[in-house]
Structure 1
């Protein structure tokens, strides 16, 4: 059937719409357009640098309806691919963009393999077209993300990764830079977050001869600090108020819009609650996934010494090297003399250099290697010829280095720095006191006796620090708290053949192993127990009388109270038995020539040994719950605080040194008028009313006319104000005459 007056060949959008609805009926028109496309393509190949708008429209038209005629368009994708491969740089910019968009449409319809298209796009990154490169980068990241959305296609990923690694070594700097950006973005999106990607960036990107690629790779390993939070992620500030929304919806007029708003607020509240209760996930940073950190640190240090880059690039090298040394506990002794050269107060970004020196310190570095850095900081920063801010920064840097390598500080240098605790400026004084607090917790022997403070339980249990010594615990530290939390007193009696019996004491919290071999202790306990029974007889009668009175009120509480009384009596008996046995031991020891203090110390050591044995047995025979670990943490904190004055505990050591820890200066900052006014208003809270106090007993009653005058406008009171002015004698005569005439007229 031949259509007369057919206008479809000239109206491609209408034909496209009709073909998608009924492909079979309009196949003839499509083939006509396809043949026209083939003829235009041959003409375009003769002059690819010239734009051909009709070919552009036909390519996009065929790409839109390609899924309707798959068999007829088998060679269509390959034609575009070959054209872009052979003449990518000579093609017209608009024609090249339209061919790429057509290929993306075909890829979305699964008419071209993903691997072929991605390899082509990686090659097109060499084109001198910035908008095209940005467009292709966005598509490559999105396409790879979509391919790995449901499950990771390892075969495709490995093929693409191998191809991209060759692109990193490309001579074209734009293609290499775009490739490294794509890899870093895919790593951040948790798509290519494997060790292979990280190590290729470490081995190829960080040592690239192209400066932009090298800087991008170094920035990748620096990343952002894990402690820093994005201000946009603060849920507490943006959390919707559900209560006020429900109240407003209840009071206001009921509309569909308000119902939708309330539903959205409820969804947001549930999302925020889920976020708060969700388990925190930790992803290892890229620095942890490097296979050979020692080799990488050494090669980066050689590159730093050999190249002549800008100072900012040198700082990036120092930052990455210091993080590698600190996280992996590496040995790179030549790094410390190199960084010492930059430790001058006038040095640009000297606080960051001090941060790198602290990051590169760890316990396995010998103290003799880091001690020159401390002496350089003390000589260049902590002197009275510098400003107080410089002195405080120097002391903060010394504290940051010593917190990671305690043995680097010598006794003489520490005692000299500690003398700044009485300095006139508060910033220097607080920095010196923080250094004292650090060594009080770790190595108090290096301080003067007056600076050591009171010895805590944690310090008493702590062994002296030695280089390379590691502490191996045979139990969970602080598990003694679980013994104290026992609420019942259990006595386990065994046969005469068994030599041991266990007793749990409620108040003392210690499980004491009483051996039958020691006959003297048992006899003492029995005598003390009989004495306790005689002394507590009256107490039992009183308790019985009280329980009888309570029985009249409630019969159910009788059994519970009696059991509690029996437990208390047993605890008292065991405690007094212990005391009597200890007193007898002390009397025997004094008779043998030993002092009471020696005996008490011996008893304490015996108790601690018994508690440790009991805690070790609990750790081996029991699975700890979250509540148990909370009690253990509380007990460890108590050990640090007990017998000590009020002072802040040192925070746990982190992998990275925060710049705020070094730049932190205790200084009263200047405030603007708004902040000062806020302070004034905050000080006026919970205070009686200030200013004029009226004599009214009831504040709700009206005021006098005299009080109201003070708030009136001056224009209202101007006449009376004039009358108060002192009059002359003549004015007084005139006013008196007027007054008398007025009275005469009234008569």
Structure 2
């Protein structure tokens, strides 16, 4: 018995997993064994700190001690919840091993991975909180190799996402955002090297790069969406490291596919997967097919579909509108962007400068900023032979808005016309120049000169479709915004009629405030039709009142502004009353007046006379009673005059809808309103409403597409600058896709002789095909021609072989 106990103790000291299991079952019974192992761990910890400073031990000894030390760390972390007092210093000790403490060096290799995993385990057991864990893991990102970095990155993202899943963990978010802000700010004082020429290896900014990547991931997952998150990336947009700066610019531009090599590699992987599927399908058709091959083929198809879906999800990213709108002090941000672009013009590459131009133009267009130096800077890039000139033209057009001074844009328009619109360049160049001029003038029409405009619209007589479309678009734009700049014969019918009595808004002037919701009467009619169908096709007198739309209330509110202005002249709220009597306004009086108005209208409809109240009859003066007939005539004339004026006012101004006064419109109501407006515009265009109705229909359809695409076309694209072009030759994948679409819904192409006309389906042999071949084709076949050209020796060899074959068959 004593021998078994001794052997059991030796086994427990050497077998840590078994001791760990026993401690979890009975912590108090095995406390001495735990303390023994814990003391061993402390001694190895001190040796590790000493060895990291001196570095005199051999590699074999170090590997063995690190392996034992890692096992002890895992053991202590697994049972730390059983002895919280003894292991209270464990997190600080592990932190010192990873980040270094008291001048000591950090651990490397597998031991570092073990320490990280045990720290995550302590967080899962709630021995440490998320803040302590992330304060340790975040600084490790730029220091560890790629394999361990992926584990740390996934751990950080998962922890933050889990902490903010139910409610926002503001304390954790503030701490992590402060850490990321510090990581970005740490390298802001370095020298700008640039991304072209020599000296790329001197750039330093690993911490800032990983901070931006973490922010982008959390923003993409929807965990962080506040202004402080945007401020971290806004600071990184001015980092000396061009890679960090490029990552921040791509965040605001909404594009994650920054490396073209990664995109190309993904497409190549998809092609390879498709080829593998095709090979497997061919093998199954030619050779034997079994369950194993079918399972392999199904697995390959699933993996190919996943790759295709993932690649498609990564393309066509939309601009990050909320990030642009959450910028703090966008004017200062835009000016700093321009200063950075202008100052380091010779250091940055063209691709990087175009990225800065794109972000600056979007910030200027979104917040209506005026960075006037940008237009003088961009002029030198406005040449048709400039690389990526379409992106530069897009940036130019996006930066313009209605508050941009026209004097600054006029030289830009002249430069575009001189470089892009002349007979010495191709048709695509002219179309791009006209489209760029149109987009600039759409946002600020006063930058165009009358003589230049007349020259540009003459290109609508060109033979190229793209040039004609671009020139007509420019002509149509000025027919709408400022037809006075066009000649009389070029204004068109609608513009000539609308020009009379109308004035174009000058620079700095804005349109009048909206008087209501456009098309709301369509929604009101739709609700009225629904009530009619609900009542069996008949209207009820009280149905409108019950549904919240009362005709009497509508007439009572129709001329409220005219009645208020018909009284005595007043300059403020104090002169409303006449001064003789105090006004007493109460809700009960209003209700009584409305009820009386409804009752009087119903009596008028039935043909009954309306009897005035005795109080109103007593209030008339004695002089008015004597000249009653004349006063009646005068009252009738006045009434007719007022009614005529009221009719004119009601025709000129839009009638106020009771639906907007009595009902709060929901998003579903607005969606229904958009559908009704689109339907009404279609019916008007089909019934001969003219070009104006067609343009309105096109605008409504375009707005519907923008909303459905989550505002993916809020900013300009290269396609809008290039305009319509000739159809480009399709790639091999596109042609094969069209071929597959044409084969849908039909049987496989081929002869049915050996497949359906036999009892056992099979294909015909080559000998059968040779028998049915036409004689003229058989005479010129390769087999016959070889016989004719064969030498005597070849004929002897073939004849001898045939004789030998016949002899063998006989025997």
For 1:405-416, list aligned pairs within 5 A: 405-416=444-455
2:328 to 291, 297, 320: 291
* Whole-angstrom CA distance in 1 between matches of 2:463 and 2:377: 35
2:92 to 71, 78, 86: 78
* Whole-angstrom CA distance in 1 between matches of 2:321 and 2:252: 12
For 1:246-261, list aligned pairs within 5 A: none
- Is 1:207 matched with 2:238? yes
Q: 1:35 to 1:462 in 2, by over 3 A?
A: farther
* Whole-angstrom CA distance in 1 between matches of 2:326 and 2:730: 46
* Whole-angstrom CA distance in 2 between matches of 1:647 and 1:636: 8
- Is 1:301 matched with 2:338? yes
* Whole-angstrom CA distance in 2 between matches of 1:678 and 1:163: 50
How far apart are 1:47 and its partner, in Å? 0.7
SS at match of 1:341: helix
Cα contact 1:480–1:612 (8 A) shared by 2 = no
Q: 1:503 to 1:621 in 2, by over 3 A?
A: closer
For 1:259-274, list aligned pairs within 5 A: none
For 1:653-664, list aligned pairs within 5 A: 655-664=714-723
* Whole-angstrom CA distance in 2 between matches of 1:305 and 1:374: 22
Q: 1:628 to 1:607 in 2, by over 3 A?
A: farther
- Is 1:470 matched with 2:510? yes
Q: 1:355 to 1:35 in 2, by over 3 A?
A: same
1:390 to 421, 426, 429: 429
* Whole-angstrom CA distance in 1 between matches of 2:220 and 2:776: 81
* Whole-angstrom CA distance in 2 between matches of 1:674 and 1:192: 40
Superposition TM-score, scaled by structure 2 size = 0.59
Q: For residues 646-666 of structure 1, give each alpha carbon's deviation from its aligned partner in whole angstroms, at most 9, with x where no partner exists.
A: 855354596411222113332
1:5 to 4, 7, 10: 7
SS at match of 2:143: coil
2:78 to 64, 73, 93: 64
* Whole-angstrom CA distance in 2 between matches of 1:677 and 1:182: 41
Cα contact 2:181–2:232 (8 A) shared by 1 = yes
SS at match of 1:465: coil
* Whole-angstrom CA distance in 2 between matches of 1:212 and 1:684: 48
* Whole-angstrom CA distance in 2 between matches of 1:681 and 1:133: 44
- Is 1:342 matched with 2:356? no
How far apart are 1:676 and its partner, in Å? 8.5
- Is 1:186 matched with 2:218? yes
Cα contact 2:164–2:223 (8 A) shared by 1 = yes
* Whole-angstrom CA distance in 2 between matches of 1:192 and 1:672: 41
How far apart are 1:423 and its partner, in Å? 1.0
- Aligned-residue Cα RMSD (Å) equals 4.5
For 1:286-685, list aligned pairs within 5 A: 286-307=323-344, 308-455=347-494, 464-471=504-511, 472-479=513-520, 609-613=649-653, 615-616=655-656, 618=658, 621-623=661-663, 625-626=669-670, 627=672, 630-631=675-676, 642-644=689-691, 648=695, 649-650=698-699, 651=702, 655-671=714-730
Q: 1:160 to 1:383 in 2, by over 3 A?
A: same
Superposition TM-score, scaled by structure 1 size = 0.63
Cα contact 2:519–2:673 (8 A) shared by 1 = no
Q: Mean Cα displacement is larger for which, 654-663 or 631-640?
A: 631-640
Q: 1:36 to 1:403 in 2, by over 3 A?
A: same
Counterpart for residue 55 of structure 1: 69
Q: For residues 61-110 of structure 1, give each alpha carbon's deviation from its aligned partner in whole angstroms, at most 9, with x where no partner exists.
A: 22223223333322222222233332675433322222222111111111
Q: 1:604 to 1:392 in 2, by over 3 A?
A: farther
* Whole-angstrom CA distance in 2 between matches of 1:721 and 1:319: 66
Q: For residues 147-184 of structure 1, give each alpha carbon's deviation from its aligned partner in whole angstroms, at most 9, with x where no partner exists.
A: 22222221232233223322222246222222222223
Q: 1:209 to 1:151 in 2, by over 3 A?
A: same
Cα contact 2:523–2:676 (8 A) shared by 1 = yes
* Whole-angstrom CA distance in 1 between matches of 2:733 and 2:130: 60
Counterpart for residue 95 of structure 1: 111
How far apart are 1:346 and its partner, in Å? 1.1
Cα contact 1:482–1:628 (8 A) shared by 2 = yes
How far apart are 1:395 and its partner, in Å? 1.7
How far apart are 1:36 and its partner, in Å? 2.1
Q: For residues 31-66 of structure 1, give each alpha carbon's deviation from its aligned partner in whole angstroms, at most 9, with x where no partner exists.
A: 332222222222222213644211111111222232
* Whole-angstrom CA distance in 2 between matches of 1:674 and 1:121: 45
Structure 2: any 5+ residue segments left out of the alignment? 56-61, 188-203, 257-262, 268-317, 530-537, 543-550, 563-604, 606-642, 707-712, 745-767, 779-811
1:174 to 183, 206, 209: 206
Cα contact 1:173–1:210 (8 A) shared by 2 = yes
Q: 1:458 to 1:674 in 2, by over 3 A?
A: farther
Q: 1:165 to 1:490 in 2, by over 3 A?
A: same
Q: Mean Cα displacement is larger for which, 636-645 or 92-101?
A: 636-645
SS at match of 1:362: coil
Cα contact 1:454–1:644 (8 A) shared by 2 = no
For 1:141-160, list aligned pairs within 5 A: 141-160=157-176
SS at match of 1:192: coil
Q: 1:715 to 1:604 in 2, by over 3 A?
A: farther
Cα contact 1:481–1:631 (8 A) shared by 2 = yes
* Whole-angstrom CA distance in 1 between matches of 2:123 and 2:115: 12
* Whole-angstrom CA distance in 1 between matches of 2:654 and 2:692: 30
How far apart are 1:462 and its partner, in Å? 7.3
* Whole-angstrom CA distance in 2 between matches of 1:680 and 1:113: 59
Cα contact 1:382–1:390 (8 A) shared by 2 = yes
* Whole-angstrom CA distance in 2 between matches of 1:314 and 1:282: 18
